[in-house]
Amino acid sequence: VAKGGLGPEIFPLFEKKCQCEVKALPSGDGGQLLTRLQLDAERGKPGAQIVLGLDEPTFDRAKPWIEEWKDWLPKGIRGLHPDLKRTPGFLPFDYGFFAFMADHQALKEAKLTPPSKLTDLLSPQWKRNLILEDPRTSTPGLAFVLYANQVSGMPANEFWLKMRSQWLTLAQGWDSAYGLFLRKEAPMVWSYTTSQAYHEEHGDSSTQRRYEAVLFEEGQPMQVEGAALVKNSFAPGDAGKKQHQLARDFLDFLISPEVQDLVAKHQWMYPARQSTKLPPSFVHVPRPKKVVHLKVKADEIQTALSSWSKAVEGKF
């Protein structure tokens, strides 16, 4: 719902189509979405009927409050990219690959060259030269923890014990992390490969880039963002049935060509629909050497977060 984001573009389109009113309730990053769903469910007073912006790990944790589709399927789901996993109840509408974004100007000033693998980040030259997101509050932050645990080739606590002195700050969310990066507080930030397209679209040269995605030998983790219906959020009776139908129509609308064409330039992610034409800035975005599928089970995430906390607080 932020200015320039996808919400303000597509809500009026849907309102025109359905002759209804869409009310957006902003909730911040993934962690906050979860909190809101949980709180609404506990109070028995759901605030929203549709939740937008869950990714796969968040979806697994949000399952208790998500409505299953049963025999219904959104129109156009078969046209989605084949790599996007089909999980009942979760409708992917965009995807992307996490990667470090490097500021070559800042790297040059700090006399650094971009790393080629994850464990390079543990070397002293990267000390306080990285900006990461807090995994407890941000989905990119959580993805980095799961990714590092999966591919670093080191015991997780050993990796994090070394890593905890490397970041300049752990931002509460992606937007604050990226804000610091743009202020040149550090030469690298954990973001998305498609951030490069954003910079190209906003004037960064496509031949001598200042901002560039850095790919690792280990591959890049994938993030799939999606939408879901909130369980028990529809009123009983005819009014509720109508709302339920409208909510399903909205999910259909999300993966329609009309919306998917807008995804790249407003979400700065790849559209989920396979046949969607990408803007030229996306063509230059490097594709990962290998795609890392992260573990997304709620209990695995809890274990990873708990051992991460212990490691960074120095309790091992």
* Sign for the pseudo-dihedral over CA of 188, 194, 197, 199: negative
* Sign for the pseudo-dihedral over CA of 231, 75, 55, 48: negative
Give the nearer residue to other proteins in terms of CB position, either 170 or 262.
170
Q: Binding other proteins by CB under 8 A: which of 44, 236, 237, 314?
A: 314
CB of 281 to other proteins, least distance (A): 19
Give the nearer residue to other proteins in terms of CB position, either 185 or 201.
185
Tell me which DSSP letter residue 38 carries. Answer: H
Site for other proteins, residues 121 to 140, rule: CB under 8 A: 128, 134, 136-137
Does residue number 20 form part of the binding site for other proteins (CB under 8 A)?
A: no
CA distance 274 to 271: 7
CA distance 164 to 37: 31
Q: Under DSSP, is residue 116 helix (H, G, I), strand (E, B) or coil? A: coil
CB of 35 to other proteins, least distance (A): 4
**Phi (first) and psi of residue 70, to 5 degrees:** 55, -115
**Which among 199, 158, 160, 209 is positioned nearest to 178, based on CA atoms?**
199
- 167-186 footprint of other proteins as x/- string (CB under 8 A): xxxxxxx-xx-xx--xxxxx
Does residue number 309 form part of the binding site for other proteins (CB under 8 A)?
A: yes
Stretch that binds other proteins, among 69-77, 78-86, 164-172, 224-232 (CB under 8 A): 164-172
CB of 149 to other proteins, least distance (A): 17
Does residue number 32 form part of the binding site for other proteins (CB under 8 A)?
A: yes
Does residue number 61 form part of the binding site for other proteins (CB under 8 A)?
A: yes
Helix-helix angle 156-163:139-151, to 10 degrees: 120
CA distance 16 to 20: 7
Residues binding other proteins (CB under 8 A): 2, 25-29, 31-32, 34-36, 38-39, 43, 47, 61, 128, 134, 136-137, 164, 167-173, 175-176, 178-179, 182-186, 309-310, 312-315
